[in-house]
């Protein structure tokens, strides 16, 4: 199987990139085809968004192109806030040029007047790589008339949520707005809803929705190869419903945590072995979490194909293919507590049931985990799981509901053991899998997470 996203060696200059079979040829193909046929090609390829939801990319582009209004925008999502995920940073380190080329094609296809790229301010190396790649494209005369704005965003998880990313680009905190970007795009005002638009030049219109296309970094890296090699080539990899390759992250209880490009449809167990070198000798996989957005996958489900439909078939989701592996010595109560705490802290509080509910669920999980829990704690968690999504304006509350309820369902005996025998199988605590770096078989996790308070301030060290 070939790889087309992660090169064997990093590409560090535009000349090196233009010497590849894809470099520059993607933009050329798009110019030759024109916007409509470019969108058709992406639609026919079956490419699906790699940001987590798996939405068909061509359909999204066609929807934006079909919207009325004189201004459309492109937003590139490089927030990579999902725990257990490092693939966008790996891609920007290995080949930022292919992402920029996808950006140019996407902006051309939907008629975007400007592109904004949201990358966390703490990802200094990736911002530098992306900025350099854009400048080299401009110097090479490939996107002389395109405006690309790189926005260094906050560390909050919600920065990656598309409706919150638009707010950040407009200069506000990462609080998701109500309507999706295709209905309420960048710098569009809706005074009747109590919104203000950010300032954006003298000719800014305030009476149009400014439909905005939001795509993930990795999604865009697929675009030039598809246009250059063709949709049949793309569909020859992966599965019918999930064509192509995907960059997976494998961390947690594995021998060598890493990022790797695999063909969609590869079984999860084989993926953990191929990318993360498997679990330690004598150990077995107890559970795998694809980030914090989806139900747990148990060790009995390792045959599940890494594909959108494969994970859906077992009631879970592939997410952004960041897999956190727990071996048979891990405690699932502690894991549920940690991941629930992450979501509770990161919840923005605009929808009270989300903030209050995820906080309460976390408190009761902590009580059970520390050995003071009773059946009443389980009952209270159950009650909040029913209500936590009430009136929610983004998917975070649903993530809490899906994740915690799945662990309760899959590992009831571990909760019972904590409550009845006050016993826990765990010999050493696992880190919260929010990644700061991943290189040379070593994962570095964000220790500041434990000091972060529900109001997004930090306990002093």
Ligand X SMILES: Cc1cc2nc3c(=O)[nH]c(=O)nc-3n(C[C@H](O)[C@H](O)[C@H](O)COP(=O)(O)O)c2cc1C
List residues binding ligand SF4 (CB under 6 A). Answer: 158, 176, 347-351, 354-355, 392-394, 396-397
CA 61 to CA 406: how far, in whole Å?
Answer: 34
Smallest distance from the beta carbon of 160 to ligand SF4, in angstroms?
A: 12
Which does residue 348 touch among ligand X, ligand SF4, none (CB within 5 to 8 A, set by kind)?
Answer: ligand SF4
The closest alpha carbon to 331, from 430, 227, 186, belongs to: 430
What part of residues 50-69 is at the interface with ligand X (CB under 6 A)? 50-53, 55, 60
User: At 43, phi and psi to the nearest 5?
Assistant: -65, -50
Q: Which does 77 bind (CB under 5 to 8 A by kind): ligand SF4, ligand X, none?
A: ligand X
**Distance between CA 244 and CA 449 in Å, rounded?**
35
Strand partners for 134: none
Residue 395 makes contact with ligand X by CB under 6 A: yes
Residue 393 or 418 having the CB closest to ligand SF4: 393
Residue ranges in 219-248 that form contacts with ligand X under rule CB under 6 A? 219
- The total of other beta-carbon atoms located within 10 Å of residue 372's CB is 12
Which of 293, 378 has the CB closer to ligand SF4? 293
Binding of ligand X by 373 (CB under 6 A) = no
Closest distance to ligand SF4 from the beta carbon of 164 (Å): 8
Q: Which of 216, 245, 266, 347 contacts ligand X by CB under 6 A? A: 216
Nearest-angstrom CA–CA distance, 234 and 373: 52
- State which residue, 378 or 443, has the beta carbon closest to ligand X: 443
Q: Could you say which DSSP state residue 186 is in?
A: T
Identify the sign of the CA torsion 297, 301, 303, 307: negative
193 burial type by CB count under 10 A (0-12 exposed, 13-18 middle, 19+ buried): exposed
Binding site partner of 397, from ligand X, ligand SF4, none, Cβ cut-off 5-8 A by kind: ligand SF4
C-alpha distances in Å from residue 21, one per residue of 179, 354, 437: 40, 48, 30
Distance (Å, whole) CA 173 – CA 166:
10
Site residues for ligand X, 153-182, by CB under 6 A, read: 157-158, 160-162
Binding range to ligand X, per CB under 6 A, among 45-53, 183-191, 325-333, 372-380: 45-53
**Per-residue burial over 403-441, b = 16 or more CB atoms within 10 Å of its CB, e = otherwise:** bbbbbbebbeebbebbbeeeebebeeebbbbbbeebeee
Nearer to ligand SF4, 229 or 452 (CB): 452
Site for ligand X contains 322 (CB under 6 A): no
Helices (H) and strands (E) in the chain — how many of each?
18, 11
* Nearest CA-CA partner of 353 in 285, 304, 400, 299: 400
Comparison of 35 and 154: residue with beta carbon closer to ligand X: 154
Is the CB of 278 or the CB of 291 nearer to ligand X? 291
Residue 393's binding partner among ligand SF4, ligand X, none (Cβ under 5 to 8 angstroms by kind) is: ligand SF4
- Which span (74-82, 91-99, 230-238, 374-382) binds ligand X, by CB under 6 A? 74-82
User: Among residues 26, 49, 238, 353, which is the contact residue for ligand X, using CB under 6 A?
Assistant: 49
Please count the residues of this chain forming the interface with ligand X, following the rule CB under 6 A.
24
Our finding on whether 307 is near ligand X (CB under 6 A) is no
Shortest distance, position 365 Cβ to ligand SF4, whole Å = 18
Q: Which parts of 77-106 interact with ligand X (CB under 6 A)? A: 77, 79-82
Is residue 214 close enough to count as binding ligand X by CB under 6 A?
A: yes
Nearer to ligand X, 74 or 407 (CB): 74
DSSP 336: H
Distance CA 371, CA 365 (A): 10
Could you give phi then psi for residue 212, rounded to 5 degrees? Answer: -125, 125
- Interaction site with ligand X (CB under 6 A): 49-53, 55, 60, 77, 79-82, 157-158, 160-162, 214-216, 219, 394-396
């Amino acid at each position: 199987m070939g790889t087309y996203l992660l090169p064997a060696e990093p590409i560090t200059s535009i000349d090196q990139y233009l010497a590849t079979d894809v470099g520059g040829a993607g933009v050329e193909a798009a110019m030759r085809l024109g916007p409509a046929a470019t969108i058709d090609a992406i639609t026919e390829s079956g490419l699906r968004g790699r940001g987590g939801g798996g939405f068909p990319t061509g359909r999204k582009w066609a929807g934006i192109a079909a919207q009325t209004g004189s201004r459309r925008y492109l937003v590139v999502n490089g927030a990579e806030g999902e725990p257990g995920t490092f693939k966008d940073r790996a891609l920007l380190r290995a080949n930022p040029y292919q992402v920029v080329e996808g950006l140019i094609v996407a902006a051309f296809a939907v008629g975007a007047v400007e592109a904004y790229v949201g990358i966390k301010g703490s990802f200094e190396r990736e911002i530098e790589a992306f900025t350099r790649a854009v400048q080299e494209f401009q110097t090479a005369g490939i996107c002389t008339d395109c405006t690309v704005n790189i926005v260094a965003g906050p560390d909050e998880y919600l920065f990656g949520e598309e409706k919150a990313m638009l707010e950040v680009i407009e200069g506000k905190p990462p609080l998701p707005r109500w309507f999706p970007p295709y209905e309420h795009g960048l710098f569009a005002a809706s005074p009747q809803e109590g919104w203000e638009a950010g300032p954006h030049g003298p000719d800014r219109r305030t009476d149009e929705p400014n439909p905005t296309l939001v795509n993930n970094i990795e999604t865009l890296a697929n675009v030039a190869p598809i246009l250059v090699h063709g949709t049949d080539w793309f569909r020859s990899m992966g599965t019918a419903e999930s064509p192509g390759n995907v960059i997976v992250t494998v961390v947690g209880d594995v021998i060598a945590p890493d990022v790797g490009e695999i063909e969609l449809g590869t079984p999860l167990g084989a993926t953990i072995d191929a990318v993360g070198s498997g679990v330690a000798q004598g150990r077995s996989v107890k559970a795998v979490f694809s980030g914090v957005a989806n139900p747990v996958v148990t060790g009995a489900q390792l045959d599940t194909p890494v594909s959108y439909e494969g994970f859906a078939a077992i009631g879970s989701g592939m997410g952004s293919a960041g897999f956190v592996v727990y071996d048979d010595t891990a405690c699932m109560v502690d894991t549920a507590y940690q991941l629930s705490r992450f979501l509770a802290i990161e919840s923005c509080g605009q929808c009270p049931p989300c903030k209050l509910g995820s906080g309460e669920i976390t408190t009761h999980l902590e009580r059970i985990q520390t050995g003071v829990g009773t059946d009443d704690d389980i009952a209270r968690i159950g009650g909040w799981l029913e209500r936590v999504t009430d009136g929610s304006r983004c998917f975070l509350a649903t993530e809490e509901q899906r994740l915690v309820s799945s662990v309760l369902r899959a590992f009831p005996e571990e909760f019972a053991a904590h409550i009845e025998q006050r016993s826990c199988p765990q010999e050493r605590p696992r880190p919260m899998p929010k990644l700061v770096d991943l290189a040379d078989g070593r994962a570095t996790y964000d220790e500041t997470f434990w000091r972060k308070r529900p109001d997004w301030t930090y306990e002093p060290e």
